Amino acid sequence: MATLPAAERPRARAAGPRRHDSAGPLAYALLAAVVLASVFPLYWTFVVASHSDNSVLGGSTPSLVPGGHLLENIGRVFDTVDFWKALGNSFTVAGTTAVSNVLLSSLAGYAFAKLRFPGRNALLVVVITTVMVPTQLGIIPLYLLVTDLGLYGKLSALIVPSLVSAIGVFWMRQAMEENVPDELIEAARMDGAGQLRTFWYVAWPGVRSVAAVLGMFTFMFAWNDYFWPLIALPPENGTVQIALNQLAAGYYTDYTLMLAGVVVSVVPVLVLFAVLARRIVSGVMAGAVKG
Amino acid sequence: MGSSHARRSAATAAALATLLALSGCASGSVESDGKITLTVATFSDFGYKPLIKEYEKAHPDIVVKERISQLDQHHNSLSTQLSSGSGAADVVAIEEGYLPKFRTVQDKFVNLAASGGLKRKDEYLPYKWAQGTTDGGKFVMGYGTDVGGLAICYRKDLFRRAGLPTDREAVGRLWPTWDAYFKAGDTFRTKVKDHAWFDSAGNVFSAMMNQTEYGFFDADDSYIADENPDVKRSFSASADAAADGMSANLVPFSQQWNAGIKQGRMATITCPAWMTGLIQTAAGKEGEGKWDIASVPGGGGNWGGSFLTVPKQGRHTKEAADLAAFLTSADSEKKIFQGPTGSLPSLTGALSDPAVQNTRQKYFDDAPTGKIFAASAQGLKPSYRGTKDQQVRIPFANALQLVEQRKSSPAQAWQKALSDAAKNLKH
Amino acid sequence: MAVHTAGAQRTLESEAPPGRRARRRPTRQSRVTPYTFIAPFFVVFGLFGLYPLLYTLWVSLHRWDRLTGDGGFTGLANFRDLFADPDFYNATYNTFSIYLLSTVPQLLLALAVAWLLDRRLRARTTWRALVLVPQYVSVVAVALVFSQLFGRDFGVVNWVLEQLGLISAPVDWTADTWSSHLAISFMVMWRWTGYNALIYLAAMQAVPRDLYESAMVDGAGRLLTFRRITLPAIRPTLLFTVVISTIGGLQLFAEPLLFDSQANAEGGTEHQFQTLTLMLYKYGFINNDAGYASAVSWVLFLVIAAVAALNFYLTRRLGGSDR
């Protein structure tokens, strides 16, 4: 099993969509159905979020036409929970863990792939076996530990335990093996470059795209995590996921408020996504694993 | 080129360090302008917004923030915060059913007696004060906020269709006991087929249980639900009624429950004072004048009501204690009762205040809610709560839902409730 | 590969600092460097991965209340109770049922979507981007939205099914095992299908074109080509997605928790959609019995390790022919 950025392999580019294989009407229709299924729940969310609370309660036919209360409901979202803070927290946590995962995994991956040192293989086996260990399962002691360290309620309680992951190290090691020839490293060393310089100027350029994918993965994972923030953060210093859940709480479940919150949480990501669509799509595709 | 790379990496490292530093610092409760920020954590809206404004105006050096969560999550995260020693709000509401559990860790709370709390003893309904204190009344753990004096909210228009009386006095006389209440339900169901008699068997069960002196636990905190005839009786009565189709099968406080109220799918709802606010919000304008309030079967009872506590871990416990006292003062409780949430005061002074006594709710056909609820609050005996009350409650509510979902007979559901409750007691 | 090599070479030539060309002897520093590079991982994993896992075992052997702390050694009592608890087997069943119901159709559908995308399309990037949209909706948002869509009384799903005449009375999706598992699996599927489709698409596009051309010459139809050429070629990718979905699928939390409007981790009236992670949360953070919850963690850990090992074995066996 090996990891390679597909888009950068000359072979991959040549393969591309095959000439004789242009899509017929049926393919377009099926794809349209898939896209409709992907987008409809979001559209419906937007519709409900744009109605006044009482008007959507108990209608016999679901409304499919937007109403005029979207801004009002969004305003109520920001009144009910500190959504800015939640967004900021989520960006801080996801951004920091993504950057640190990329850096620390690349360094470790580089060491495992390109440096010789006693115990390397044994340590690598440790890394590989821990890939499969879901650290979430130690959640109770993790909670006790974070509490003892005085990190409860702080964003560092989310960041520090996930600064670097086994899968990241393993992944970057594979990338280093595949994409950075030993001769280059050797040449750099002959030139007197230090380990860090060699890493940065020789190894890093070769794995940058894989690292970007790892960063994106890590960002999304941290952004979406719910279990650990629910335990480690008090509601008023939560992430977006916690803030969303706050909207669904209360004796009185206000449907439109909740779904307006969903709109607020999705829109920034979707806008970012629309701007970066091309990059992200190729990024995800580059993350594919090939034999 | 090289230097730009180096600069970039340095910048990344610096950004990382800054982020770590930023995330590392605690959210301070003293703002840069020297103001003290106090957080008040409640579950559901306690109607504190106008009071907070008032308090901030009188105390320009204090900023008050509200944090509202869902009932169970609120208490779960309070457990977390108490055990981890940080993160709790300065003033935290605890619901009466949860209070016994937190009494076991009372050392994590400020004894409000230190800030003159003992003086307030005579202001309170005696049982409310007793619930909020420990150590023979020397440790004041929390100031009572409201009590949930029980009543029944009912739909007049549906009662008329069923040929039942609609006048609130006559309706109260219709059901002196719960048996009479269920009998009236039978009559109702034969005449009005497309509406249920009540919203949820769980709510009826809760109301009945809240009228017993001892429910799931005995005074020494031993579990007695399996042998207490009151529990069995309350469970069977509500389960049988559900099996007869009297329930609208709505999970209390869910979205479906809201919609069910708006659509008027049930004729009655067991109605502690705080419920009136929820009904108004859910039923909306169209429901105005259709609802009314009558006395509850089986005499008075209390459902819900909370206490404001001050966890020791806060940085400004003195200021927090003052705020808690303000939010539970007679004047505040009176204003809350007259506000949209309609929560009933727990202070005798506020309850007998003419302004409270004379309160009528236009929405409920001008019902004299002040008189109805104040009477139910003053006449009731509190139901004893064990430390694991909440944990035990859930299996019984689940079992009743099973009957409503037609997945089990009342007898099977009872067995299931008992075995699940035993499990929850053990772990 | 050539591209990288050249790029790196260029970087090296232009950026290696002049004047430090002397051959370096291995220094103390260079012997230590590899360890400093890998140290962060081992420190973080040791402190926040391994230590908690071992500590979990310790806690599971105790009566341990989250509020009041260690209440004494109880040996294997927690495990004994757990293995005697029908809820545990129920939760295990639910975990696997939801995992299979969400993963198998999801990956098959993703494969189909990738197959559709793997041809000359107008507005290619737009199609790909649209398929990926659900990935950008957070788990909690998905759970909240779909819980409403699957609402009993006025959910859109019931409404559509009624319009189509498929059901006569509204389905109470949370009430039964099959319906709740279906609804929760649907949430997972919705969110991940497009993502997996793009990963498959990437793998498909890397399949050498001449393989297809020779198949075309042989007159093989599109489906046959897909089965004979595409599928075997992307097998490692398939296995990669299986492994990733397994780790996620066995630990579902937000979806089953929020599918219940009471969000009390009961997983329905009869625990019909209580997964092992929900059970862990219930005992650890609602009932505050850290000891029992730790026992659940350890069993869940062993379950995941076993499934991961199985995956590993399958990877080696199925992937073996490529080497």
Can you tell me the ipTM of this complex?
A: 0.83
Please report the DSSP string for chain A in residue order.
Answer: -EE--GGG-HHHHHHSS-GGGB--HHHHHHHHHHHHHHHHHHHHHHHHHTS-HHHHTT-SS---S--S-HHHHHHHHHHHS-HHHHHHHHHHHHHHHHHHHHHHHHHHHHHHHH---TTHHHHHHHHHHHHT--GGGGHHHHHHHHHHTT-TTSTHHHHGGGSS-HHHHHHHHHHHHHHS-HHHHHHHHHTT--HHHHIIIIIHHHHHHHHHHHHHHHHHHHHH--HHHHHHS-GGG--HHHHHHHHT-SSS--HHHHHHHHHHHHHHHHHHHHHHHHHHHHHHHHT-EE-
C66 Cα to chain A: minimum distance (Å):
9
**Mean pLDDT across the stretch B260-283?**
91
CATH no. for A76-290:
1.10.3720.10
Taking one residue from A and the other from C, the number of pairs with CB-CB distance under 8 angstroms is 371
Q: Enumerate long-range contacts of C217-225, CB under 8 Å, 24 or more apart.
A: none
Q: Looking at beta carbons, which residues of chain A come within 8 Å of C5?
A: 181, 184
Q: Looking at beta carbons, which residues of chain C come within 8 Å of A38?
A: 130-131, 133-134, 190, 194
Cβ of B251 within 8 Å of Cβ of C151? The answer is no
How confident is the prediction along chain C (323 residues), in pLDDT tens digits per residue? 333 333 333 333 333 444 444 444 455 556 788 899 999 999 999 998 889 989 999 999 999 998 888 889 999 999 999 999 999 999 999 999 999 999 999 999 999 999 999 888 888 888 988 998 898 898 999 999 999 899 888 788 999 999 999 999 899 999 999 999 999 999 999 999 998 998 899 888 888 888 887 777 777 777 888 888 888 888 878 877 887 788 788 889 999 999 988 888 999 999 999 999 999 999 999 999 999 999 999 998 888 888 877 876 776 665 544 43
On the CB side of A257, CA atoms within 13 Å amount to 21
Cβ of A249 within 8 Å of Cβ of B20? The answer is no
Cβ of B254 within 8 Å of Cβ of A57? The answer is no
Question: Is residue C66 a part of any domain in this protein?
Answer: no
Average pLDDT, rounded, for chain A: 83
B2: pLDDT strictly greater than 70: no
A112 Cα to chain C: minimum distance (Å):
8
Cβ of B1 within 8 Å of Cβ of C14? The answer is yes
Cβ of A6 within 8 Å of Cβ of C203? The answer is yes
Cβ of C202 within 8 Å of Cβ of A104? The answer is no
Would you kindly state where each structural domain of chain A is located, as residue ranges? Answer: 76-290
| Cβ-nearest to B263 among A58, A93, A159 | A58
**Mean pLDDT across the stretch B395-405?**
96
Q: Looking at beta carbons, which residues of chain B come within 8 Å of A93?
A: 23
Q: Looking at chain A, which residue has its C-alpha nearest residue B9? A: A200
Q: How many domains does chain C have?
A: 1
Question: Is residue C244 a part of any domain in this protein?
Answer: yes
- The predicted-structure confidence for C5-54, as pLDDT tens digits, reads as follows 333 333 333 334 444 444 444 555 567 888 999 999 999 999 988 899 89
Instruction: Please name the chains neighbouring A, where neighbouring means 3+ C-beta pairs under 8 angstroms.
Output: B, C
Q: What is the pLDDT of residue C33?
A: 84
C271 Cα to chain A: minimum distance (Å):
19
What is the C-alpha to C-alpha distance for residues B153 and B292, in angstroms, rounded to an integer?
A: 6
Q: What is the pLDDT of residue C153?
A: 82
CATH code, C97 = 1.10.3720.10
Question: Is residue C155 a part of any domain in this protein?
Answer: no
Question: Is residue C224 a part of any domain in this protein?
Answer: yes
Range of the domain at C254: 86-140+173-209+217-317
Question: Is residue C64 a part of any domain in this protein?
Answer: no
Question: Is residue C30 a part of any domain in this protein?
Answer: no
Taking one residue from B and the other from C, the number of pairs with CB-CB distance under 8 angstroms is 71
β-bridge pairing B196-198 and B266-270: parallel
A5 Cα to chain C: minimum distance (Å):
9
The pTM score is 0.86
Question: Is residue C2 a part of any domain in this protein?
Answer: no
